[in-house]
Structures are given as C-alpha cells and as structure tokens.
Structure 1
C-alpha cells in the first residue's frame, strides 16, 4: 500500500475516502498513484477507463502500459507499440531520462512522437 491508501477486509480507502467499486482482497498499490484490483485499474483514486487490470504495469516516469496500450500519465499514446515500448535512459543526460522512450516504430518525448 502507499501512504495514500489503506484497506481492511471489507473496504479500500484512498486519501480518507472509501473506494466504492474495489475488491479489497485483490487490491494493491502499484506506485506513482496507480492501483489495481481484479476488476479495474485506478489512477489517483478514480477508475482508469480502458486499462486492462490483468496486464497493467507501471513503467515509471509517468508511463504505464497494458497488453493493448501505452499511457503517459492517463493519456493513451496512440501509435505506441505496447509490446516493445521501453523507457531509455542515457547515462549522460539524467535530467531528460524520464521522458526518453521508444518502441519498434518511434521515439517519444513527453508521450509524443519525435518527428525530427
């Protein structure tokens, strides 16, 4: 759990408010304000529509993915390939490391395709 969520055998709470549609038995914190249970993925305490809870994973640096999509924060990166998407970190430029990503087709910066 994170310091923003807590659960008991009947309920899950986020920032002091009860989640209404969670399954406490399968609920877990993933980091970066992402959570999931057997039914849904949650971001900042709200259902993350369209995200697949079975395959959803947090990559870090504001990126996450499931078997179908890649996300920057909660926004789907339209042309990103989920299977090959990765965060690339240059040892020489750690300041921009959080925004350097690529897949088999493109490089991305802040979740957008780099065209040049």
Structure 2
C-alpha cells in the first residue's frame, strides 16, 4: 500500500515538473520574441520581422498580446518612423494598421501622435476632417495640437481654449492660454 502511494506521488510530482518546465520554456520563448527581429529597436519596440514578413506587437508584449502579421507590408521598403508610425513604398501604418486615404508622397510627421499630408490632418493615425490643414500644428510631444480655430486634446476640441495664445506645458497633459489653465483637455478650476 505504501509502495503504491509512493509511486503515485512520484508520478504526479514528475508530471507536475514536466508541466511547469513546459510552461517556463514557452514563457521564456515568448518573452524573447520567438525568433522575431525588431525592425528598428532604437525607434520602436512594436514592429518586427520574421520569415520575410512584418509583424506588429503592441507594446512589444509577445507573451500577452502576441504578434499580428501586417499582410500588406513590403518588407524590403518597410521602415519605422516613430513608436507607432511606420511606412513602406505603398502605405503608412499606425499601430500596424494602414492609415486610410493618406498621400504617401506628401506625408509628414508633426509629432508622435500628429501627422499631415497635402489633403488631411491625422491624429493617432485617424483622418481628422475638422482640423484646418494649413494652420494645424502639433505642440511638441504633448497631447495637444492647435489650428487657427481650435485647440485639440487627442481627438477632442478644447472648447474653452484660445488657439491664438495656447501653449503646451512640460507635462504632456497640461496647457495654458492667456486666461486659463488646462489639464487632460479640461479647464482647471482655480477657485
């Protein structure tokens, strides 16, 4: 009886170690990128190549989020522009997805979040039709931008802000105009 219990215990223990070993092996393999090579690690930890294909890995997190193949990407001309933006001969990408309706030849980055071409303004890879193309400007690496009509916080227009006097502050969520202070795109109540 004791011999049977000992055999069952040892078998269960060995099986447990095998399962734990398999899990640790795959965790390490996924954590190390499983054969993926960064396109330009100095610029972005989100774009990788493997077996002559381009992949997007959100926040460089292979283990939890995995790699998504960018089907349309041309590996021979693919290059990373910022953490989120990349391009090849035919497309501009934001977070691994094609930016629609962009004019490749006139595309220019204004900041990590903001870009424009001869036809449109783009915020986080999305065309923003409300923005004035001629006067739109990113305000450093803050989350704010402005044009002659509006101040923008991400996609939202900051209604209370004066675009003529608005400036972004060192903290990317803070800004001010000649009369008011703003945090997270909202008026700061100073009373």
Settle same-fold status: TM greater than 0.5.
yes
Alignment of 1:48-63 (within 5 A): 48-59=128-139, 60-63=141-144
> In the alignment, which residue of structure 2 is the partner of 1:6?
87
User: Structure 1: which 5+ runs fail to align?
Assistant: 90-96
1:87 Cα deviation after fit = 2.0
Q: Deviations over 1:15-62 (max 9, x none)?
A: 444433111121112222322101111122221230122211111321
Does the CA-based 8 Å contact 1:87-1:98 persist in structure 2?
A: yes
> In the alignment, which residue of structure 1 is the partner of 2:103?
23
> In the alignment, which residue of structure 2 is the partner of 1:80?
161
Other structure's SS at 1:25 match: helix
> In the alignment, which residue of structure 1 is the partner of 2:145?
64
Task: Classify 1:17/1:108 alpha carbon distance in 2 versus 1 (closer, same or farther; 3 Å).
Answer: closer
> In the alignment, which residue of structure 2 is the partner of 1:107?
181
Give the structure-1-normalised TM-score.
0.78
User: Structure 2: which 5+ runs fail to align?
Assistant: 1-80
Task: Classify 1:7/1:30 alpha carbon distance in 2 versus 1 (closer, same or farther; 3 Å).
Answer: farther
Give the structure-2-normalised TM-score.
0.50
Aligned alpha-carbon RMSD (Å): 1.9
State the alpha-carbon separation in 2 of the partners of residues 64 and 108 from structure 1. Answer: 13
Which structure is larger by alpha-carbon Rg, 1 or 2? Answer: 2
1:85 Cα deviation after fit = 0.1
Aligned residues: 107
State the alpha-carbon separation in 2 of the partners of residues 39 and 27 from structure 1. Answer: 9
